[in-house]
Structure 1
Amino acid sequence: MNLELQQFKAEFFKALAHPLRIRILELLSEGDKSVNEIQSLIGSEGSAVSQQLAILRNKNVVVGSKDGTTVVYSLRDPLVKDLLSVAKQIFDNHLAGTISLLENIRAKDL
């Protein structure tokens, strides 16, 4: 794999490396939303949401389009939804493995 592709991947994953950005992407996976809609759904103050959206926009993960005076955000690539789904599956698999390990340890202690 060439260095430029590795760098692109690293920068892309850095853009995802924040819990609020992940939550924003999960919401945008359900459909386009304005900053106010995202704020309301997350229950976070506007400056935090706007700051994270700016990072996602600068890394080309989301795009914003004007609808009158409102900016509506969407995923730049719909495959981000699939990526988030796969990440959840990996987490679930890891969690299931950890639970199984703990159950085995508990069974040995009994």
Structure 2
Amino acid sequence: MGKKKVLVYFYPKADTPGCTTQSCGLRDIKDDIGRTVIVGISPDKPEKQKKFDDKYELGFTLLADTEHVVAEAFDVWKEKSMYGKKYMGIVRSAFLIQDGIVLNAWYKVSPADTPTNLLKELKK
């Protein structure tokens, strides 16, 4: 990694309204983040990730964590609840990393906040 920073962000499901807002927001600030690398991770299959990337021309790496191994390692695979039904899923979150050190972590972020949070952190 060297001097590059990496933003690893976790999103619940490709090509859904919130995840699209988050991912397209990051795409739209690529020119403002210098050499920072963006990596998106969700439990979707690789084919769905590729379609998502192609549809919105994201231009950064999307990883398929179908067995939620990476999500568990980052402690973002949690019990969630919708309409009274409990299930396991991704907690929308983002991590700014440099040289293996987490510089900042954002948990339970709104989709539109991820790009804003990243820009604020990079300007420090």
Compute the TM-score of the two structures, normalised by the length of structure 2: 0.28
Compare the two structures and name the one with the higher helix fraction: 1
Comparing both structures, which one devotes a greater share of its residues to strand?
2
Q: Which has the higher contact order (CA 8 A, sep 6+)?
A: 2
